[in-house]
Structure 1
């Protein structure tokens, strides 16, 4: 039997860590595609490294993945347009008053709170929380990744922990938010332009994820006009209420059972401040969607 080469041993050791590294990067970035890129970059760096000087491969790889993920998060802050592309993995769950215990278990299993609430954290807070609270990485290692003291890393994780606990997405949309969304859908179905304007923030932003790319519509007048032409009418006539990353939404299917559109609404102070409309069949097919009623 031929001897296993050192390179093969390193590759096998890396593969044994791949799933865990992907999980770390995914919780940091909220995107499987970005997580795959980070893990691949970690492998490239390992392949160029003298592994004889690595005392703890798992810790070394976690540090590398953490640093690469931190760079990605900081890059998103300087390029706001990149944030939308990074959040490709929407979490869609039924919003029909199910068993709270089942809802909580589902939210935990898909990382709903992480995909939504962690977006409100700064990159350093997010890394400290994810690595320590979710993956048990010691604070001294986190401090090295951040270039901070151990006490500073502990403080960042503590702040992040408080924010997560205070802002975890609910298992169902608040009734007042769902009422605003229902009023929008009813007005769209009835062609009630004035009714649409009553529930739309004057500076509402509509983002349409269409087959040809992203389309952005700004302002209540333009969004209401689009809703009259069918943005909301289809959702009002068929489909079911859902939560999209903790926000009230509507999922619509075609007669053949294929998903047609997914709407997600951000409601602030009783008005709709933002709408995400996913109509791209490829993206809809990539999402884990509830079954039609």
Structure 2
């Protein structure tokens, strides 16, 4: 909730920027709640500033929001167990026909960009989001990062290549699904070597459980957990989760057990996002078991 006053000219100028600032923070952080907190913190900083010294309010606010978001990203990197709140998950049946005709799936593909951006380092992420999505000049991005404009440009270019590579992988849906199917088959049969073959060495598994978020890093750890957690499902259905190949598993009684979404890059699984919290699962609009 904003504490700004509608009669204050500085507050009115800030309110005119609020939606854009919220969009910047959300693209950076992938969480509406965190984006709201960042925008509110930007307002507090503005309220303590002599507005007469700010010659370009929009640019000043973008810089502040960028710096606060960068601090949040670096904190997450240092403490992965306190990572971002998930964006809304859009789950659709993966039956194979022209997904571009499905409006819900089109929305989910847009959300998938957040998953891709989340794989970038904090500096890459800031440079890519601010420049490519919001046209902020590299000079300003460099100031936020404490780097030169050329260094900021290189960071954005590197991030862009990663995003484009993942986009190409996303387009190759059948190939991605083959990798995911190989992972699931190996997990089902307790094939540790088979799991390692399809997992990126630096794979990141994020699981939402009733007790909070668990983050597991590295192919060996993820493979070990996948073997142990392969049982217990009464049925499985292939789905797309935010445009990524995934599955829903159900218990024997028909209640959802878990949702998994897989990020596949260069024929290996680079990320797995899992929801195993019954409260979250119950609140979601999920396809029925087959």
The answer to whether the superposition gives a TM-score over 0.5 is: yes
How many angstroms does 1:208 deviate by? 4.2
Corresponding residue SS for 2:247:
strand
Decide which moves more: 274-283 or 253-262. Answer: 253-262
Q: Does 1:263 align with 2:260?
A: yes
Who wins on radius of gyration, i.e. which is larger?
1
Structure 1 Cα separation of the partners of residues 69 and 159 of structure 2 = 17
Q: Separation in 1 of the partners of 2:128 and 2:191?
A: 41
User: Which residue pairs with 1:179 in the alignment?
Assistant: 181
Give the equivalent residue in structure 1 for 2:190: 196
SS state of the match for residue 142, structure 2?
helix
Distance 1:163 1:55, change over 3 A: same
Q: Secondary structure at the match of 1:243?
A: strand
> Does structure 1 retain, via aligned residues, the 8 Å contact 2:90–2:108?
no
Partner of 1:170: 170
**Bigger shift: 44-53 or 116-125?**
116-125
- 57-66 vs 33-42, greater mean Cα deviation: 33-42
Counterpart in 1 of 2:87? 89
Contact 1:201–1:273 (8 Å) recurs in 2: no
Contiguous gaps of at least 5 residues in structure 2: none
Instruction: Give unpaired runs (5+ residues) of structure 1.
Output: 188-194
- Given that residues 143 and 150 in structure 1 are in contact (C-alpha distance below 8 angstroms), is that contact kept between their aligned partners in structure 2? yes
- Separation in structure 1 between the aligned mates of residue 250 and residue 14 of structure 2, nearest angstrom: 42
Q: Does 1:79 align with 2:79?
A: yes
In 1, the alpha carbon distance for the partners of 2:43 and 2:70 equals 17
SS in 2 for 1:59: helix
Comparing 122-131 with 274-283, which one deviates more in the overlay?
Answer: 274-283
Distance 1:86 1:244 in 2: 17
For residues 196-235 of structure 1, what are the alpha-carbon distances to aligned partners after superposition, in whole Å with 9 as ceiling and x for unaligned? 335434999876422233457857566434433x1xx23x
Partner of 1:121: 120
The structure-2 alpha-carbon separation of the partners of 1:42 and 1:253, relative to structure 1 and needing over 3 Å to count, comes to farther
Residue 269 of structure 1 deviates from its aligned partner by: 9.3
TM-score (norm 2): 0.75
**Cα gap change, 1:48 to 1:106, in 2 (>3 Å):** same
Counterparts in 2 of 1:102 and 1:130: CA distance versus 1, 3 Å: farther
8 Å contact kept, 1:180–1:270: no
Partners of 1:159 and 1:268 lie apart in 2 by 16
1:109 aligns with 2:110: yes
Q: Counterpart of 1:55?
A: 55
Instruction: Determine helix, strand or coil for the equivalent of 1:148.
Output: coil
What do the CA deviations read for 1:226-252 (whole angstroms, capped 9, x no partner)? 433x1xx23xx15x3123466532124
Structure 1 residues 161-189: Cα deviation after superposition (integer angstroms, max 9, x where no partner): 2221122251535242132245257x4xx
Matched positions, count = 270
8 Å contact from structure 1 (residues 128, 157) kept in 2: yes
Distance in 2 (CA, whole Å) between partners of 1:256 and 1:7 is 58
Residue in structure 1 matched with residue 30 of structure 2 by the alignment: 30
